[in-house]
Amino acid sequence: MPHDLPKAYDPAAIEDHWAEYWVREKLFAQPTPNSFTRSIPGREAAARLDGQSDGQSAFTILLPPPNVTGNLHMGHMFEHTESDILMRWRRMCGDAVLWVPGTDHAGIATQMLVERQIVSEGVTRQQMGREAFVARVWKWRQHYGGVILDQMKRLGASVDWQREYFTMDENLSVAVREAFVRLHEQNLIYRGAYIVNWCPRCQTAISDLEVFHEEQKGHLWEIRYPVLDAKGKDSGKFLSVATTRPETMLGDVAVAIHPEDERYLHLHGKKLHLPLMNHEIPIILDEWVSRDFGTGAVKVTPAHDPDDFALAERHHLPSINIMDDTGHINAEGGPYAGLDRYAARKRVIADLEEQGLLAGIKDHVNNIGHCDRCKTVVEPRLSTQWFIKIQPLADKAKAAVREKHIRFTPEMYEKTYFEWMENIHDWCISRQLWWGHRIPAWHCSECRKITVARVDPTACAHCGSKKITQETDVLDTWFSSGLLPVSVFGWPNITSETRADFDAFYPTSLLVTGFDILFFWVARMIMFGCWFAGDVPMPDGSKRTLADSVPFREVYIHALVRDANREKMSKTKGNVLDPIEIVKTYGTDAVRFTLASMASPGTDIAFNIARTEGYRAFANKIWNAARFLFMNVDRAAEVGITVDPASLGAMPVAEKDAPLEARWIVAELHSTAAKVNQSLENYRYDDAANTIYQFFWGSFCDWYIEIVKLRLDFGGNRVVNGTETEILSDLKGTRAALATLVGVFEAALRLLSPFMPFLTEELWHAVYNGHPPVKSIALSSFPQEDPDVTNSFAPFGLNWYHLQLLITDVRAQRKDRSVPEKEIVPLLLSSPSVGKARFFDEKSDIICSLGRISEIQFVPPEVLTNRPGARSGAVWDIDVVYEKPIDVPAERDRLSKDIAKHEKNLISAERQLGNEGFLAKAPANVVEGLRKQEAETRLLLEKARAALKNLTGEK
Ligand SMILES: [Zn+2]
Ligand SMILES: [Zn+2]
């Protein structure tokens, strides 16, 4: 029986069930709508709600695809909670909401994971071969990939699982290939040798963004390079250079000095002997050299340093790459060939020292780049890579934001975006991995030219030779994820048959994501979206402008979840909270509510479990309110009163003759709905959540339910003795109160539903006794304010406010007077306003019930001014009448002791005052004081004796 709720709220007992139900029933599947209006970003949605359009408005977001290897962490849970609240809210507001989930193939991470597996089985990737290895990764993905999506299902994310994608799906791979070929045709892709960040462990180039820097203690070695004389002989002089990576000297091609450095003017045009390698290198002059750093002379190693590479280009010097893919010295390193880079460093230092060429060693803190994936120290290294000439794409992407076709919340990220875009470098898109989209380029061994093609070629496009082999590199993972907004909706195959999705859902409405992938992903989606979508005509056949080419209209950058002490969560600190574990203890709803209650643009969250406990108690409060409600619904049914389910689902309104509390709670609900909608429009999750909390716990549970108990009168004996008509008229008030109670509760559940989807789903089905009008509360409508309702209550607002204030005062005074909770006591009340007094008199049932008062006695003001401890409000004075019962034996005991004490004091005082000698010597004021004390003691003694007499008299 749906009404028969278990006594205690137990999230574990309900959440799995509903999570599974939502997926099974495909509740959040969003078919392509037949008619639609353009999706509109958050802040303008208010205008849409005014009802300008008739078709459904599409509201679309893409889930930032987690890595297929990923596990859900607190950051995900926060991001998904924020997104889910918005999606559920929009859906309930009537939008055609589409939230597209998927996972990223995550080139490096996935390859590393599977590689580790096979190594533990005794096979290397190289031994296995490319094809078998890739097959193995696919197998892994099939069995273990996407754990995180299952976790999302359990947490109730309202995504369209029918549209789940994987970035290496066939259709998405077609898009990747088309994008590459098109950019190549447009001369925006080139191949060249440049310095890249090389990870010797992953054996691939990685982007600047995938390198994290960490300060480490190291050394600065000063090496002496012998200066050669005009004949090429050792001149006996030296030029010292400083370096943090001495092994790279094996690849030195010059030493650079500043042309105006006065210390080195005599060296202009001279040559040096490169120690250890035994060949000559020139001294070059370049203004880029900083005279203040080290010795002011800089070794030039173009193949291992980006600045040196630029320097060598300017001076037309060669680049000598001395390291192989694994970070070992190659044949170019002469006698050091085969050594690991750090072993080579040791040997180089030792050899220099032996030859007397090591001028000094200093401690030095280096800012060292590490591979984000495997933490290996990254080696800047020359290698041949594929690049995108980024400028024209970046220009469009900048224009899109500058012209406000895309907006950022918080707005400050717009500046960050521009700063990055202004300094953007060509994008190295090739990775030396096996897992990923293999670059569709074929090298010809005859003419050495490259064929790039949409369909795998069988011959070289330039010379017709069959001796072609495909490029072994794959594309950077962000290349495919950058295309997602266009590719998930069918690009590049946008035909008249397939275009409905693209027409309806592109541009997407919103992107909710973290700051950390602003450049990795957000900026690249903007660049690709603006570049490629422009070719897709608008639904009416017209040309797509930049405004409609953008991948999304708005970007909401969420904050970080930190620990309770505002520390960043990290494995090393051991303060990482596992959301799944917390959910097990407190339930998903309480965790979601905790996150929401603190979320607002630009504010990091300090996640405190005590808050989650509090919201778990909130859920419990709602559960108990539901139990109270159902108990009364069932009792009402016994006397023939039912609430028509058809009357539910809309916003409740109160009849003109309804009791004030009913009109109040209804108006309160309407204004709460207005605030919640407004807050969500502005991403103020915190305001929205706290408003609902105040309404549910404060207004509804603490006030309305307490008052409505007075109205729920099920007739009792009257049912037995009366006729049916009489019973109905007797029960009219009950019927109305029950209708308001259930109506407001049902609407409040809908208001809460985006925040606590599980609890509200459970209780909402119970409200309808298991026969709800739609399959889920998530498909019902979100409460909206009717300003007429709030306005019509306004004239009563002040009176109602005073009533609540008065009751609050009464309760406080009961505490002051230590009135036990169970005692019902009379209240003295005076009010200078006749109207107010009449109002309080009319509402005396409420005051008496909520204040635990037996009766209200209206008294003149002076009665209260004469009572110490009476309380004064703005338009009233009150006092609860409560005399503490007296414990007679204890009181007699106390009084007797007092009397004895006073008698003793009195005797002592009389003796002193009777002593002539004392009186003669003592100062006048001392004697005066003693006389006063004696009089007081006498008075106290009299009072105590009278009290004792009274006490025994009463007895
Ligand atoms: Zn690595
Ligand atoms: Zn060829």
Q: What is the pLDDT of residues 465-482, one digit of tens each?
A: 999 999 999 999 999 999
pLDDT of amino acid 886: 64
pLDDT of amino acid 236: 86
pLDDT of amino acid 34: 67
Segment 757-774 shows an average pLDDT of 94
Q: Give start and end residues of each alpha helix (H) in 587-731.
A: 588-598, 609-638, 660-681, 685-693, 706-708, 717-721, 724-730
Q: How far is the CA of 874 from the centre of ligand 1 (A)?
A: 71
885 — pLDDT class (breaks 50, 70, 90): low
Q: How far is the CA of 136 from the centre of ligand 1 (A)?
A: 20
Q: How far is the CA of 462 from the centre of ligand 2 (A)?
A: 5
Q: How far is the CA of 369 from the centre of ligand 1 (A)?
A: 11
pLDDT surpasses 90 at 701: yes
74-92 helix and 588-598 helix, angle to the nearest 10 degrees: 90
Q: Which ligand is nearest the CA of 467, by number?
A: 2
Those residues whose C-beta lies under 8 Å from the C-beta of residue 44, and which sit 6 or more positions away, are none
CA distances in angstroms from 457 to 174, 215, 385, listed in the order given? 16, 49, 22
Read off the tokens for 131: 């094809």
* Cα–Cα distance measured from residue 757 to residue 588, given in angstroms and rounded to the nearest whole number: 9
pLDDT of amino acid 45: 45
Starting at the edge strand that comes first in sequence, how are the strands of the sheet with 204-206 ordered? Answer: 204-206, 189-199, 379-388, 427-428
Those residues whose C-beta lies under 8 Å from the C-beta of residue 609, and which sit 6 or more positions away, are 564, 582
**How far from chain centre, in Å, is Cα 139?**
33
pLDDT of amino acid 718: 45
230 — pLDDT class (breaks 50, 70, 90): confident
Q: How far is the CA of 372 from the centre of ligand 1 (A)?
A: 7
pLDDT surpasses 90 at 127: yes
Q: Which ligand is nearest the CA of 431, by number?
A: 1
834-842 helix and 797-816 helix, angle to the nearest 10 degrees: 80
* Cα–Cα distance measured from residue 674 to residue 782, given in angstroms and rounded to the nearest whole number: 11
* Cα–Cα distance measured from residue 46 to residue 37, given in angstroms and rounded to the nearest whole number: 15
Top pLDDT among 564 and 388 is at: 388
**Peptide bond preceding 652 in cis form (omega within 30 of 0):** no
Q: How far is the CA of 437 from the centre of ligand 2 (A)?
A: 24
The answer to whether the CB of 841 falls within 8 A of the CB of 859 is no
pLDDT surpasses 50 at 52: no
Q: Which ligand is nearest the CA of 203, by number?
A: 1
The answer to whether the CB of 107 falls within 8 A of the CB of 477 is yes
Task: Write the Ramachandran bin of 201: left for phi over 0, alpha for psi from -120 to 50, otherwise beta.
Answer: alpha
Q: How far is the CA of 456 from the centre of ligand 2 (A)?
A: 15
Those residues whose C-beta lies under 8 Å from the C-beta of residue 387, and which sit 6 or more positions away, are 189, 190, 191, 192, 194, 426, 427, 428, 429
Which residues on neighbouring strands pair with residue 204, listed in sequence order? 199
658 three-state secondary structure: coil
Q: How far is the CA of 203 from the centre of ligand 1 (A)?
A: 7
Top pLDDT among 124 and 49 is at: 124
Percent of the chain beyond pLDDT 90?
61
pLDDT surpasses 70 at 294: yes
pLDDT of amino acid 540: 85
The answer to whether the CB of 879 falls within 8 A of the CB of 871 is yes
449 three-state secondary structure: coil
pLDDT of amino acid 717: 43
112 — pLDDT class (breaks 50, 70, 90): confident
Q: Side chain identity at 228, as an amino acid letter?
A: L
pLDDT surpasses 80 at 791: yes
Top pLDDT among 191 and 569 is at: 191
* Cα–Cα distance measured from residue 837 to residue 829, given in angstroms and rounded to the nearest whole number: 9
The total of other beta-carbon atoms located within 10 Å of residue 109's CB is 20
Q: How far is the CA of 187 from the centre of ligand 2 (A)?
A: 19
The answer to whether the CB of 411 falls within 8 A of the CB of 437 is no
pLDDT of amino acid 955: 43
44 — pLDDT class (breaks 50, 70, 90): very low
pLDDT surpasses 60 at 919: yes
Q: How far is the CA of 13 from the centre of ligand 2 (A)?
A: 67
pLDDT surpasses 70 at 722: no
Q: How far is the CA of 321 from the centre of ligand 1 (A)?
A: 20
Top pLDDT among 70 and 78 is at: 78
Q: How far is the CA of 432 from the centre of ligand 2 (A)?
A: 24
Q: How far is the CA of 204 from the centre of ligand 1 (A)?
A: 8
Percent of the chain beyond pLDDT 70?
95
Q: How far is the CA of 593 from the centre of ligand 2 (A)?
A: 63
